[in-house]
Amino acid sequence: MTTQYLPTQVMLGSAEDLERAYLHPTEPHLRVNFVESLDGAVEIGGRSRPLGGPVDHDAFMAMRAVTDVIVVGAGTTRAESYGPVRLDEAAQDRRRARGQAALPPLAVVTARGDLDPTSRLFGPGSDVLILTTAQVVAERHDLAEVAELVACGDAYVDLGAAVGELRSRGLQRALCEGGAQLMRSLLMVGLVDELCLTFAPILAGSQYRRLAGPGPLPEVERFRLASLIVGDGMILTRYQR
């Protein structure tokens, strides 16, 4: 049983209820979503999946169902074995009713173009943008056969330019699914509007990667708690800048 306690107390008994809870409050808007253990680990054995559970998965799917585009780092697509985005017919119908495409595209961020064009990421039904450098666009013709390559910088990916490119295509509401390095980079340049952080009832140990990464941010980032959902021992928070 899943209950929302903030901003109001209400039972969330269906996928449609969760989608309403995760509708983006404004556009343009960039949301990041992570699950972490009670002691701060965001991965176990290089993957976030061992930290999740049914409630977290349902929220993950609800966030996908309401976003215009899913942004993810290339390393996360490899570690989590990403494939084409899938939503059930009811979720697709609700998207169409909101004026959205039936399925959100994936926007993969990579400075090196370290992607395999034969991977399941580019399987049947895939809709992938690769936000990368001018060098990768010039050299990786094999990737251009399976996805659209967009130059967002020369030696590195300019994240401000990348987000601007998405918004110029009408993809105003973005969901970043990781990894931690990409999320930190987005924070460093002030692009994160909202952090959805799920606390899993797990102690993982200090050997695993943390969300914040090494070193300080340029300045202290302050967010306010906008939503609190509890289910199956998991605490799902939503913090807005």
pLDDT in tens, 176-231: 998 888 998 998 899 999 999 999 998 877 666 667 666 667 777 889 999 999 99
Q: Which residues pair with 240 in a beta bridge?
A: 194, 224
Please give the pLDDT value at position 212.
64
CA dist 52 and 25 (Å) reads 25
- Tell me the C-alpha to C-alpha distance, in Å, between residue 188 and each of 151, 193, 216: 21, 12, 10
Answer for the pair 229, 236: CB distance below 8 angstroms, yes or no: yes
Specify burial of residue 45 (Cβ count, 10 A radius: 0-12, 13-18, 19+). Answer: exposed
Residues listed for the chain: 241
pLDDT in tens, 75-98: 999 999 999 999 999 999 999 999
Tell me the pTM: 0.94
Q: DSSP of 6-52, one letter per residue?
A: ESS-EE--SHHHHHHHT--SSSSEEEEEEEEETT-BS-BTTBSGGG-
pLDDT band, residue 127 (cuts 50/70/90): very high
CATH number for domain 2-240, candidates 3.30.365.10, 3.40.430.10, 3.40.50.720, 3.40.630.30: 3.40.430.10
Please give the pLDDT value at position 16.
96
Give the 3-state secondary structure percentages of the chain, helix then strand then coil, rounded to 5: 30, 25, 45
Residue 58 DSSP SS3: helix
Please give the pLDDT value at position 116.
96
Phi, psi for residue 237 in degrees, rounded to 5? -110, 155
